[in-house]
Amino acid sequence: MTKRARVVSIRAPPGAAPADARERAEALAHHLVGQHVAVGHTVGLPGWPSVVVDETEPAGAVVVGDDTRVELWWPPAHPAGPAQVLFVVDASLTMGRGPAGATMMDRAAWAIESVVLSAHQAIERVGILVHGSTPRMTQPFLGPGELNAHVIHRAPARGTFDILKACDAGLGLLASEPADAPRILVVVTDGRGLPDDGARAIAGARRRGVEAYVLLADPDSGAVDGAVLKAVTFSDPRPIAEAIGRAAGIEVRHQPREPPSPLSAGAPEFEIVIETIDEGSP
How do the domains of the chain map onto residue ranges? 3-73, 83-276
* Burial bucket for residue 186 (CB in 10 Å: 0-12, 13-18, 19+): buried
Give domain 83-276's CATH architecture: 3-Layer(aba) Sandwich (3.40)
What is the model's pLDDT at position 140? 87
What is the model's pLDDT at position 278? 47
pLDDT digits (tens, 9 = 90+) for 47-75: 888 888 888 888 778 999 999 999 998 87
**Peptide bond preceding 58: is omega within 30 degrees of 0, i.e. cis?**
yes
**3-state DSSP call for residue 195?**
helix
Residues 6+ apart with CB under 8 A from 19: none
Query: 226 near 209, Cβ under 8 Å?
Result: no
Where does residue 264 fall: left (phi above 0), alpha (psi -120 to 50 degrees), or beta otherwise? Answer: alpha
What is the model's pLDDT at position 269? 39
Query: 59 near 203, Cβ under 8 Å?
Result: no
What is the model's pLDDT at position 231? 62
Distance CA 184, CA 174 (A): 8
Task: Give the Cβ contact number of residue 142 at 10 Å.
Answer: 14
Give domain 3-73's CATH architecture: Roll (3.10)
> How far apart are the two ends of the chain, measured CA to CA in Å?
38
| Backbone dihedral angles phi then psi of residue 240, each to the nearest 5 degrees | -70, -45
Residues 6+ apart with CB under 8 A from 93: 157, 158, 159, 160
What is the model's pLDDT at position 279? 42
What is the model's pLDDT at position 228? 42
**3-state DSSP call for residue 10?**
strand
- pTM of the predicted model over 0.75: no
- 3-state class percentages of the chain: helix first, strand second, coil last, to nearest 5: 30, 25, 45
Q: What is the pLDDT along the chain (282 residues), one digit of tens a residue?
A: 789 999 998 888 877 888 888 888 899 999 999 999 987 788 888 888 888 888 888 877 899 999 999 999 887 777 778 999 999 999 988 888 876 677 888 888 988 999 999 999 999 999 999 987 677 778 889 999 898 888 888 888 888 888 888 999 999 999 887 777 889 999 998 876 565 677 778 778 888 888 888 888 765 544 444 434 556 777 778 888 998 998 888 888 776 666 555 434 444 433 333 344 444 444
